[in-house]
């Protein structure tokens, strides 16, 4: 079956003319159509545009042209602006918004020859840990449709896990690539903040948001990331530093690599069976020549309260633009300007987004800015300093990605605090702007578990190398849900 091929294998097969891009795209479009009632992974499917782009890719390949991803189908999380295609951000507010331009990530992958099949479901404005806040309904986990796929990039993760696309774009503000990767049994990479352009990516929290990739393996993720990364003068947070060939570094041996086990991650909140799978994965790294040692990041347990001050504050500012005047949802027959603002925002935003806007507005208010927002930023610097000290002793840090495997849909929606704690192991890397990834390392009760690897700034090549060497020794990344295999 053609969908069982990896992204790397599909790119090579197209070059070798084993199949055409049009054949490939049609096969994936059929799988998407068949799976949509069960998974709800897509918001928009762009079949006509995809087939047109596939035919163009076939012509390029026949002429010996085309980029590294020529003719390969992918899909985008629905917060990347895509010219001529609806970009909803999983919200009612932007339900009718058609972008007039491409995000830099979209443009780069298009230049590499990738064919976009559509836009993927997500938590509304990327706010959520389970993909249950989407205006278009929850995404379901391909391993068990009664369970969540993780969020906010749940549509991207579910689509890759179900082999509806070989890879997908995603974003990570507090764990929204790594956590759904862990819950769906795939590989997810969040690069260093500034490594991948944020231009054309609808903002949630500007100092935390980072574009990345979800794929079946570290090798596939390395190929995608190589094409996505790079300096963009249109993004003021983009860093002008050379992008290495991530594929070239994958096979480096792990002998002598120092792996720090984050003490604070192996706490009472970690499910014991999940911990067992993570420790088994760490033992594989040790057999490959890596040395393991415990490392303490004493301020890391404060990352959740820090995040839920900083992120809502930035979201409050970023979402102020959605006022019913310029674009997005507009209420019917407003009585005056105040009524326009109130009803447009009240109707356009869901409960979780409203909760975070209100929290953010509160912590930024004149009487509370110093007590909450400024203090959170100071603790954020302490967390970053802890990571910096740790990387003076070890090459990478490792631990669980999530405290548990996936939970049932609806199990935590009534308790926002419990939901927020699902990101307790992932938020720190965002606060410090560090690259991090999650790879599958086993199952608990038939649901996947993830191993998280964190590196110093711009060490994507190193963490991908560690993940790839691990995947050469294991087959967790090759497993697919039975009904989608």
Question: Rounded distance, CA 185 to CA 142, Å?
Answer: 10
State the pLDDT at residue 326: 87
Question: Rounded distance, CA 42 to CA 159, Å?
Answer: 8
State the pLDDT at residue 421: 85
State the pLDDT at residue 416: 87
DSSP-derived letter for residue 264 is: G
Question: Rounded distance, CA 478 to CA 278, Å?
Answer: 18
**C-alpha atoms less than 13 angstroms from C-alpha of 254 in its C-beta half-sphere:** 26
Sequence-distant (6+) residues with CB within 8 A of 463 are 189, 396, 435, 436, 437, 453, 454, 455
Q: Are the C-beta atoms of 221 and 250 separated by less than 8 Å?
A: no
Domain 6-256 has CATH 3.90.1300.10: yes
Question: Rounded distance, CA 199 to CA 202, Å?
Answer: 8
| pLDDT, average across residues 155-177 | 98
State the pLDDT at residue 91: 98
Phi/psi for 457 (5° steps) reads -55, 135
Share of the chain above pLDDT 90, in %: 97
Q: Is omega for the bond preceding 423 within 30 degrees of 0, making it cis?
A: no
Give the DSSP H/E element, type plus range, for residue 212: strand 210-215
Would you state the torsion angle of the CA atoms of residues 337, 343, 347, 351, taken in this order, to the nearest 10 degrees?
110
pLDDT confidence tier of residue 34, bands split at 50, 70 and 90: very high
DSSP structure string for 346-397: HHHS-HHHHHHHHHHHHHHSTTTIIIIIIHHHHHHHHHHHHHHHHTTT-SEE
Question: Rounded distance, CA 379 to CA 308, Å?
Answer: 12
- Of 31-45, 303-317, 412-426, 448-462, the poorest mean pLDDT is in 412-426
Q: Over the chain, what is the mean pLDDT?
A: 97
The count of other CB atoms within 10 Å of the CB of residue 117 is 29
Question: Rounded distance, CA 252 to CA 183, Å?
Answer: 28
| pLDDT above 90 for 420 | no
Question: Rounded distance, CA 44 to CA 115, Å?
Answer: 15
| pLDDT above 90 for 276 | yes
Looking at the annotation, which residues are catalytic? 77, 152, 176
pLDDT confidence tier of residue 418, bands split at 50, 70 and 90: confident
State the pLDDT at residue 414: 87
Global pTM reads 0.97
CA–CA distance from 446 to each of 65, 116, 403, 481 (Å)?
A: 44, 31, 16, 10
State the pLDDT at residue 305: 96
The count of other CB atoms within 10 Å of the CB of residue 212 is 31
Closest CA to 293 of 262, 256, 255: 262
Question: Rounded distance, CA 134 to CA 4, Å?
Answer: 29
Q: Are the C-beta atoms of 220 and 237 separated by less than 8 Å?
A: no
pLDDT of 343-374, one tens digit each?
Answer: 999 999 999 999 999 999 999 999 899 999 99
| pLDDT, average across residues 448-459 | 98
Question: Rounded distance, CA 386 to CA 462, Å?
Answer: 20
* Residue 451: strand, helix, or coil: strand
């Amino acid at each position: 079956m053609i969908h069982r091929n990896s992204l790397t294998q599909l790119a090579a097969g197209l070059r070798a003319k084993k199949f055409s891009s049009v054949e490939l795209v049609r096969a994936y479009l059929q799988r998407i159509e068949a799976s949509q009632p069960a998974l709800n992974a897509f918001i928009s499917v762009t079949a006509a545009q995809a087939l047109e782009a596939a035919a163009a890719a076939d012509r390029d390949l026949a002429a010996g042209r085309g980029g590294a991803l020529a003719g390969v189908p992918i899909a985008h999380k629905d917060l990347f602006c895509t010219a001529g295609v609806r970009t909803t951000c999983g919200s009612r507010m932007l339900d009718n918004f058609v972008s007039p331009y491409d995000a830099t990530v979209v443009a780069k992958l298009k230049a590499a020859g990738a064919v976009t099949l559509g836009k993927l479901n997500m938590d509304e404005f990327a706010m959520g840990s389970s993909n249950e806040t989407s205006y278009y309904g929850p995404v379901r986990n391909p391993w068990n449709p009664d369970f969540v796929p993780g969020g906010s990039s749940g549509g991207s993760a579910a689509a890759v896990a179900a082999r509806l696309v070989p890879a997908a774009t995603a974003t990570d503000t507090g764990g929204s690539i790594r956590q759904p990767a862990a819950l769906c049994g795939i590989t997810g990479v969040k690069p260093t903040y500034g490594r991948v352009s944020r231009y054309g990516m609808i903002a949630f929290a500007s100092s935390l948001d980072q574009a990345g990739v979800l794929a079946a393996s570290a090798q596939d993720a390395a190929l995608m990331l190589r094409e996505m990364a790079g300096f963009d003068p249109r993004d003021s947070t983009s860093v002008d530093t050379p992008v290495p060939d991530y594929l070239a570094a994958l096979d480096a041996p792990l002998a002598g690599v120092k792996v720090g086990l984050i003490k604070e991650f192996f706490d009472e909140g970690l499910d014991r069976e999940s911990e067992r799978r993570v420790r088994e994965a760490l033992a594989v790294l040790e057999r490959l020549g890596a040395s393991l040692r415990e490392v303490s990041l004493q301020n890391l347990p404060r990352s959740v309260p820090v995040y839920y001050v900083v992120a809502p504050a930035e979201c409050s500012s970023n979402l102020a633009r959605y006022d019913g005047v310029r674009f997005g949802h507009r209420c019917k027959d407003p009585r005056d300007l105040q009524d326009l603002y109130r009803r447009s925002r009240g109707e356009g935003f869901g409960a979780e987004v409203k909760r975070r806007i209100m929290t953010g507005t509160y912590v930024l208010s004149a009487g509370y800015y110093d007590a909450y927002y400024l203090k959170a930023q100071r603790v954020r610097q302490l967390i970053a300093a802890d990571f910096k000290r740790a990387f003076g002793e070890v090459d990478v840090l490792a631990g669980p990605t999530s405290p548990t495997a996936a939970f049932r849909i609806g199990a935590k929606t009534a308790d926002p605090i419990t939901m927020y704690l699902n990101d307790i192991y992932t938020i720190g890397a965002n606060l410090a702007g560090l690259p991090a990834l999650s790879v599958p390392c086993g199952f608990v009760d038939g649901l996947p578990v993830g191993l998280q690897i964190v590196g110093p700034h711009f060490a994507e090549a190193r963490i991908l190398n560690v993940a790839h060497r691990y995947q050469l020794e294991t087959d967790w990344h090759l497993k697919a849900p039975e009904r989608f295999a």
